[in-house]
Amino acid sequence: MFRKNLFRRGMAALMSLMLIAAAPIVSHAATNIDNRVIISDTHPWLFLSGGDGESLETYQRTNLFKPARLERAAANIHNLKNDIAEATGAQFILMIVPGKESIYSEYMPADIPVMDNEGRTMQFIRYMHEHYPDVEIVYPYEEMMQAKEEYPGKVLYLESDNHWNFIGSFVGTRALLTRISLLTGASYQPEHREFVETGHSGGIDLASMMGLQGDYWSTMYQTPAREYTILEETKDPATGDVIRHAAASEAGMRAEVPVNLYFIGDSFRHMMSQYLFEWAAKTTVVNRFYFNPDDMIAEKPNVVVYEMTDRHLGELTSLPGYNTAALN
């Protein structure tokens, strides 16, 4: 059964934003790094270096799990998967989103050293395969690398932001839906979509943090949306962030195997939502800091996805809404 806790949902997300905003800029010219942002030698690329997860450490492969924390994180996901299956009968997938640094390492400053090891993400995935092979994991690194050739002249991540764009999120969602179809028998044919460049956007994420909105920008793309109906949308009154929204797709409802998807994710979920909404009979997308097992059970999903970007994998030792007793 799911364990209760006194975690104040959203507080961890708010604290993370506060840490980023409060961190002073201390320039390190040799590597173009301050303690928040890495400035690439290739304009306008910026990368997150600190304040929200472990982006730089993950890229440099200096943050391998220690044995006790590795087992705790792995067992935590396995227990969550089992609890979800017991409560709802749903299939469970852990989705790990590759960091921008790993997909576009060619734009990272060459003098930032990288350790000769497998890195924390692959360490965790290998451990899960060896000890908990019943947990399905989607880590679309290879798909993202192949998509760089599929979409020549375009990019998959926002150049001056640490998130993927609508092309990258489509590629990641495509990998996820392919796995869901294999698990459930639901119909899904991986497809190629065309994207049109719509201009540039400045003043988002990393560029804003550095006060470089006028000098650094991100390329924006669009693809025609397919029909779906928004059922509800809930925002955090303090931040304005959409923390829970749900949609239904008539095409998904007519499918031979309708999928009722409950998606728990971090900020990378936002650009995935459109594609999830288009395909599944019903999709509920929830900010992971607001995860409530009772809400999930009430939705009666047949697929549950827990998504997290690789820089936050160390946080799997305690999951908001599920358990919060962090390992010392």
CA distance 215 to 207: 8
Domain ranges of the chain: 11-317
Q: Mean per-residue pLDDT for 177-183?
A: 97
Residue 230 φ then ψ, to 5°: -70, 125
In this predicted structure, what is the pLDDT of residue 202? 74
What's the half-sphere exposure (Cβ side, CA atoms, 13 Å) at 18?
Answer: 8
Instruction: Return the higher-pLDDT residue of 3 and 21.
Output: 3
pLDDT in tens, 274-318: 999 999 999 999 999 999 999 999 999 999 999 999 999 999 999
In this predicted structure, what is the pLDDT of residue 36? 81
What's the half-sphere exposure (Cβ side, CA atoms, 13 Å) at 43?
Answer: 5
Q: Report DSSP state, residue 215.
A: T
Exposure pattern of 63-90 as b/e (b: 16+ CB <10 Å)? bbbeeebbebbbebbbbbbebbeebbeb
Per the CB < 8 A criterion, the answer to whether 277 and 249 are in contact is yes
Instruction: Return the higher-pLDDT residue of 102 and 30.
Output: 102
Residue 2 φ then ψ, to 5°: -70, 140
How do beta strands 46-48 and 37-39 pair?
A: antiparallel
| pLDDT higher than 60, residue 19 | no
In this predicted structure, what is the pLDDT of residue 33? 56
Q: What percent of the chain has pLDDT over 90?
A: 79
Assign 86 to helix, strand or coil.
helix
CA distance 18 to 21: 5
> Of 93-107, 135-149, 246-260, which gets the smallest average pLDDT?
246-260
Q: Name, in order, each residue with C-beta under 8 angstroms of 9's C-beta and a sequence gap of 6 or more.
A: 289, 290, 291, 292, 320, 321
